[in-house]
Amino acid sequence: MREKASRGGYNIPHFWNFNVMIFVDYLKKIFHSVDWILFWSVIFLAFAGLITMNSFADDDLFFNRQIIWILVSTIVMIVASTIDWRFLRKTEVVTALYFLAFASLFLLFFFGSTFKGARSWFDLGFFAFQPVLA
């Protein structure tokens, strides 16, 4: 039987690739950076809302959509928790984001579509975007 190789403090079999260790380190970073109290509080509230929604409505369409959006938002939360947001402290980044938001609002005067009396949407055909909420 072959001995296990020791690379960087990990005892891994010789047939494993070095990328496995990188993946393990990445998973440790993800699980270390998530605020678990916030995570489980949000999951609890989301499922309490699902139970309430399911007890009031007979239609499963909204229930299924809500489950999909809970899963999508959970993935986004985990990915966002791995980003080091300290780059926003730089004045150049904040200024660029401000001018991007201002330009998108200014372009609504020329290219915006009116929905329910408000000219606040960009209608791209298959997708509508409201920059006021972004």
pLDDT at 18: 60
pLDDT at 32: 76
pLDDT at 88: 79
State how far the Cα of 103 lies from the Cα of 107, in Å rounded to an integer: 6
State whether the Cα torsion 89-92-93-97 is positive or negative: positive
DSSP 3-state assignment of 48?
helix
Please say whether the beta carbons of 57 and 8 come within 8 A: no
pLDDT at 134: 56
The total number of residues shown for the chain amounts to 134
pLDDT at 13: 56
pLDDT block averages, 10 residues each, the chain of length 134: 52 59 74 81 91 79 87 87 81 88 84 78 80 68
* DSSP-assigned letter for residue 14: T
